Structure 1
Amino acid sequence: MVFISGNIEGSYRAQNIIKVLSDNKFRWVYIPWFLLLEQSKITKFMSITITLLLFLPVRLVLIASSKKLIVLPMNFGPLLLLDMLVAKIFRREIIFDYYISLYDTTVNDRKIVKLDSLREKYVSWLEKKLTRWADVIVCLNNSEANYYKKYMCSCAKNKIKIIPLVVDRVSSRNIDTYITSETFNICWWGTYIPLHGLDKLIEAFSLVEENNVKLYIFGDYAEKAKPYVELVERLDICEKVIFNHEYTFRNRKLPEFLNNKCDLALGNFGDSEKANTVLVNKLVDALALGIPCMTMETGACNEFLDDRKNIILTKRSPSIQQILDGFEFVLNNKREIRRIGSRGLEVYNREFCPEIFSERYLKLLNNV
């Protein structure tokens, strides 16, 4: 039996892991740490406390009775530490789907944990402890594994296995289908964090001389968009830049829009070490749709993609001028970039689709 630890909701990768187990007749069990009722603070606290106490004994017995513990992606915390401790005591195999670093995300990216604070020391200790207790640490690619090793335990190198991103299949574009819009639509979507270099992207776009080009920005929160809205206003390009915080992949409005109206998707253009390393999810989303994508060169991109063959790449940590040069190449080669989008879809089918993910994960389960 396999015990699954962590949150499932909202994670394509977690849902695909469970699908692999179900499709291949593995016996598995999942129990949430607690139930959360969306009411008053008192009700929330009571629901968490009562269900945690009710579930905990059953949870610990099931972990002890299992052969493997799978930790789902993007899950950290003291409750996970308890699950892994029980598995270690009873010598159960632990597969830790690492995905991203908690320390790097909270301290370096989002800056919600201050350097040299007690919480920063705790987050660092927790990440090292979880990776020490894991038997296998699953990373998305070699470049990210090498980057994240500094946040893991000292013995992590020998535990790392690579299983790339997985993105669910969507209705992809036919290369022979022309978008009938009078404008050339460039689309960016994601969270408003420095990793993406959205400020440089907007400034480069403001220098595009062709008139019938629009930039659509699909962000997570309107409040976080304010600095970028102000930048657009300052550059006097409000008529060419459209912000939208209603369309998402979860409500399926975004993939429908992209499939029907997007001529070019955009990746990340940030300056940090992480930005120069990772393969961002939005890039794989674009590959799955068969939409041509422009992003900057990163270590992870180089593992899967080739410039001007299945992707359009700028230099690493590109200047505004280098991003503008990328835009000009695209606008001067509209027929060719459609072929680039089609070849990008081939990369998705070879590296990032659910079927390939299933093969790789099943192999890992059988070998651990």
Structure 2
Amino acid sequence: MRVLFVCGREPEYVRNQIILKALHQHAEVTAITDSGKGYIVRHVRLLFKILFHRKAYDIVFVGFYGYLLIFLMRFLTRKPIIFDAYLSTYNTLCHDRKIFAPESLIGRFVFWMDRLACQIADIVVLDTRAHIEYFIKLYRLPATKFRVLYLGYDEELFIPRPPPPEHPFKVFYYGSFLPLQGIEHIVQAAKLLEHEPDIIFQIVGGGMRFNEIRGLAESLQCNNIGFLGWVPYHQLPDFIAQASICLGGHFSDETKAQNVIATKTYQFLGMARPTIVGDNPANAEIFTHGEHVYMCRLADPQSIADAILTLRANRDLREKIALGGYMHLAERYSIVRIGTILNDIIQEAQSHACLSG
């Protein structure tokens, strides 16, 4: 099968990177991508690359973020299109980040754009069943349109390493400080644990709410948190390896946070680190509390703090969920396994096209 892969975000973005590796397992892949900075400029360059592409293909896979590209691809070809929606633009801009009001002109436009893009595609891929249910209900789309594709992780980068020393007890998190991540609850949990001198928090990353979260930590006088800023992606495993436990999230109780599994959760488990996650419908789809992960209540700093104390006090439990989580991922969510699932989806799209043609 010859697959043309296009994406609006850079191919190095984790979701695109993993899907590209998985596609190569069973297909001849031509990727039209752009790693340059600037969302609009990148799409202009992609437009010209796509318009002048002449190599034959059997199917189009529109990766993340492809909401604008899918309209172009449907205009250019009648070949089957698989669309990795991955997120709702409407939810992200109007509910998660609250940049625009849902009933505003832009809010209504992105809602229409999301819905039409999914209608145009032959098959829409999303990262959890909970997310699919959300799309079906929000956009009033048929369930037959969707397939689930759990994210997985890069097994060449995130490799199990020996556990770190018992002291200090390092709690690690990284993120882009988006509202759905609920990092404020981590900071408040750290405050609750300030009288546990051996427990220290390390938070890597930056982004939208960094100053707000850093300000919260300062106002609470949290002296047990280190904000380390951005680190190169390939260095993340070094920080994860030093962690006693990792915080996978998401910890907010917003709608989007309940429908998705954090990328970092897969990576932490891929390195066999005991991981705390939010007890949300998405995590519950594939993880079992006490076997693969340790779950805590959403938007609840006390629950996060209690989970940390429980795991610190119980080394056997830490080792159990670290090994259990790793084995679970290695068996079901490896690149090879994702490639097999993707191949089935591609074959299905091609069969439907042949029947309708």
Q: TM-score range by the shorter chain?
A: 0.7 to 0.9
Distance 1:30 1:320 in 2: 43
Equivalent in the alignment of 1:286: 268
Alpha carbons of 1:178 and 1:20: their partners in 2 closer, same or farther (altered >3 Å)? Answer: closer
Shift of 1:5: 2.2
Distance 2:278 2:328 in 1: 17
Is the aligned partner of 1:128 residue 2:111? no
Shift of 1:274: 2.4
Is the aligned partner of 1:58 residue 2:52? yes
Is the aligned partner of 1:98 residue 2:85? yes
Equivalent in the alignment of 1:85: 75
Amino acid at match of 1:10: E
Shift of 1:312: 0.7
Amino acid at match of 1:244: L
Shift of 1:53: 7.5
- Contact kept in structure 2, 1:164 and 1:351, CA below 8 Å: no
CA deviation vs aligned residue, 1:134-178 (integer Å, no higher than 9, x gap) = 1111111211111232343x333111111211210135335xx34
Residue 11 of structure 1, aligned match among 13, 16, 22? 13
Distance 2:174 2:37 in 1: 31
- Contact kept in structure 2, 1:132 and 1:156, CA below 8 Å: no
Task: Give 1:306-345 correspondences, 5 Å limit.
Answer: 306-315=288-297, 317-345=298-326
CA deviation vs aligned residue, 1:304-338 (integer Å, no higher than 9, x gap) = 111111211113x2433222221221221134212
Amino acid at match of 1:69: V
Distance 2:281 2:28 in 1: 38
Shift of 1:57: 4.0
Equivalent in the alignment of 2:61: 70
Equivalent in the alignment of 2:146: 160
Alpha carbons of 1:231 and 1:106: their partners in 2 closer, same or farther (altered >3 Å)? Answer: same
- Contact kept in structure 2, 1:142 and 1:162, CA below 8 Å: yes
Distance 1:30 1:198 in 2: 35
Identity %: 21
Shift of 1:224: 3.5
Task: Give 1:243-262 correspondences, 5 Å limit.
Answer: 243-248=227-232, 250=233, 252-259=234-241, 261-262=242-243
Amino acid at match of 1:188: Y
Q: Which runs of 5+ in 2 are unaligned?
A: 350-357
SS in 1 for 2:81: strand
Alpha carbons of 1:358 and 1:122: their partners in 2 closer, same or farther (altered >3 Å)? Answer: same
Q: What is the TM-score normalised by the length of structure 1?
A: 0.84
- Contact kept in structure 1, 2:168 and 2:198, CA below 8 Å: yes
Residue 330 of structure 2, aligned match among 341, 346, 349? 349
Distance 1:287 1:192 in 2: 21
**Larger deviation: 295-304 or 10-19?**
10-19
Q: Which runs of 5+ in 1 are unaligned?
A: 39-43
Alpha carbons of 1:101 and 1:54: their partners in 2 closer, same or farther (altered >3 Å)? Answer: closer
Q: How many residues matched? A: 343
Equivalent in the alignment of 2:353: none
Distance 1:66 1:54 in 2: 18
- Contact kept in structure 1, 2:168 and 2:200, CA below 8 Å: yes
- Contact kept in structure 2, 1:137 and 1:156, CA below 8 Å: no
Equivalent in the alignment of 2:355: none
**Larger deviation: 127-136 or 201-210?**
201-210
Amino acid at match of 1:180: P
Alpha carbons of 1:254 and 1:66: their partners in 2 closer, same or farther (altered >3 Å)? Answer: closer
Is the aligned partner of 1:362 residue 2:343? yes
C-alpha RMSD of the superposition: 2.6
SS in 1 for 2:256: coil
CA deviation vs aligned residue, 1:244-282 (integer Å, no higher than 9, x gap) = 11324x2x22211211x1011112211212223321111
Amino acid at match of 2:250: N
SS in 2 for 1:274: helix
Distance 1:288 1:280 in 2: 13
Distance 2:346 2:320 in 1: 37
Distance 1:167 1:199 in 2: 26
Alpha carbons of 1:206 and 1:347: their partners in 2 closer, same or farther (altered >3 Å)? Answer: same
Task: Give 1:169-248 correspondences, 5 Å limit.
Answer: 169=155, 170-174=157-161, 177-180=162-165, 182-208=167-193, 209-221=195-207, 224-238=209-223, 240-248=224-232
